[in-house]
Structure 1
Amino acid sequence: MIKAAIFDMDGLLIDSERIIMQGCIEAAQRIGIAYTQAQYVELVGRIWSDSSRIMAEQLGGEQPMQQVITGLNTFLDARNHVFPLKSGVVELLQYYREAGVICSVASSSPIPHIEHRLTHTGVLDYFQHVTSGQEVKRGKPNPDIYLLALDKLGLQAEECIAFEDSELGAQAAIAAGLRVIVVPDLKQPSTLVRSQAHQVVESLQHWLENHAELAGCATSLPVVV
């Protein structure tokens, strides 16, 4: 029986990646640069120091990167940096709460972003711990963020399960020794991640309805309405 579930945030709990990607593409277009989804996906799951370096390389330098970030922030400010929840999030968190499973977040995003986004979607109180990429030297796909999350929980990897949407995030969770449920968002996982993941499912709702009992939480699932 698992004791804790560790969740990534962007693209997994909240539907933010598509919106942020749209903001990047539009901001790049305004300065005459064609920016693609394939380029943006390279950034997904990374800590800021890694993603900003890669983005600068993609855009041709630090200056255009800063212009795109400024445009992106203007785009997100208009939305108050609020994003919708993904399918099944509340139902799964409630299910784990009732089953006595601790829920935790391990996100590459800065702590203020994590708290803001989860507060505005009404789910922050479900999480006992929040671990940010700001707290580790090496970002995903290195296991550091998950090892720190496990340390905060005071649990071993075999006592927990992880949920990820990105390739790098799944690799990090696997490297930390966790069973990982992959819920693809912008890109399907590689053959390698598929072979090492505990499950690949289409949504958290799908996991709850069809696979949650495999995590050892209960012998039967609650009715989800």
Structure 2
Amino acid sequence: MREIRGAIFDVDGLLFNTEQLYCDICIELAPQYGIENYNQDYYKKYVGTSNKALYEIYQNDFPFLSIEDVSNFIRAVQKIAESYLEVGNVEIKAGTKEILEFFYSQNIPCVIASNNQTKFIESMLDHHNLDIYFQKIYSFDDVENPKPHPEMVNKAVNFLGIDKKSLVMFEDSSHGAIAAITANVPVIIVPDMLPVSEEIRGNVLKECESLLDAKEFLSTTHLFR
């Protein structure tokens, strides 16, 4: 049995449905730029891709667009998404409150390690009254190397001051899981839009369908202080 004494959480796609938000905005705006058949399957192909990389991808996939068109499309999507993120108005994922309350009731400290920006993370937490559950936020703003590099995870570990074997990290993507695995932190993965690769699956503590399932797994198979 593993004693869990601290937890690290990703944000996008795990606690909040931000990937679906971006996907829906892309699908809505694409026809305005003459882009047809932009659907969820297309969006999934590039989940986790940076805006810089998307410029080249879109120019290759939609050669009828000018560089200016591609730039305007990406900026328009980001602007609309940020209008939601700035006020925290993003759908919460199933099981988020339940698993956070579970850790809170066990006096187990939780921190965030996310590639999003601190201001947007804080807005979403505040909007859903989840800020009380976290002792610290580590974001894109705090590191030179975002996930899948382990820098952010190691910062969270150092803050908690707990042996890595007694921690658990929650992620929804392979990028995040790789960061945890590289940092030698046990990771539970709750896939969002993309399935878990076999390589990743073999190195995670558990793959769960939702955070509710993760809570059930921990409450029935793990010891706490």
Q: Which TM-score band (shorter chain)?
A: 0.7 to 0.9
From 28, 36, 46, the equivalent of 1:26 is: 28
The aligned amino acid for 2:35 is I
Q: Rate the CA distance shift 1:130–1:177 in 2: closer, same or farther, 3 A.
A: same
State the partner residue of 2:191. Answer: 184
- Give the whole-Å Cα distance in 2 for the aligned partners of 1:109 and 1:176: 19
Is residue 2:215 matched to residue 1:208? yes
Q: More deviation in 131-140 or 192-201?
A: 131-140
Q: How many residues align?
A: 214
Q: TM-score, normalised by structure 1?
A: 0.85
**In the superposition, relative to structure 1, how do residues 41 and 142 fare at CA in structure 2: closer, same or farther (>3 Å)?**
farther
Percent identity at matched positions?
31
Q: SS of the counterpart of 1:163?
A: strand
Deviations 1:103-151 (A, max 9, x none): 1111100111110111112111110010002211222211111111112
Q: Does residue 97 of structure 1 match 2:104?
A: yes
Give TM-score scaled by structure 2 length.
0.85
Task: Return closer, same or farther for 1:37/1:144 CA change in 2, 3 Å cut-off.
Answer: farther
Q: Structure 1 CA distance, aligned partners of 2:146 and 2:67?
A: 21
Q: Indicate the residue corresponding to 2:11 in structure 1.
A: 9
Q: Larger radius of gyration, structure 1 or 2? A: 2
Any idea what the Cα deviations from partners look like across 1:54-98, whole Å, max 9, x if unmatched?
111222286344312332245333685511211111111111011
Q: What letter matches 2:29 in structure 1? A: A
CA distance in 2: counterparts of 1:142 and 1:38, whole angstroms? 27
Kept after mapping to 1: 8 A contact 2:180/2:187: yes
How far apart are the structure 2 equivalents of 1:62 and 1:104? Answer: 40
Question: SS at the partner of 2:21?
Answer: helix
CA RMSD in angstroms comes to: 2.2
Please, which runs of 5 or more residues in structure 2 have no aligned partner? 60-65
Change (3 A) 1:39 1:62: farther
Q: Partner of 1:56 in structure 2?
A: 55
Aligned counterparts, 1:1-225, within 5 A = 1-34=3-36, 35-37=38-40, 40-41=43-44, 44-45=47-48, 51-60=50-59, 63-76=68-81, 77=83, 80-217=87-224
Task: Flag the 1:135–1:192 CA change in 2: closer, same or farther, 3 A.
Answer: same
**Cα 1:12–1:137 shift into 2, 3 Å:** same
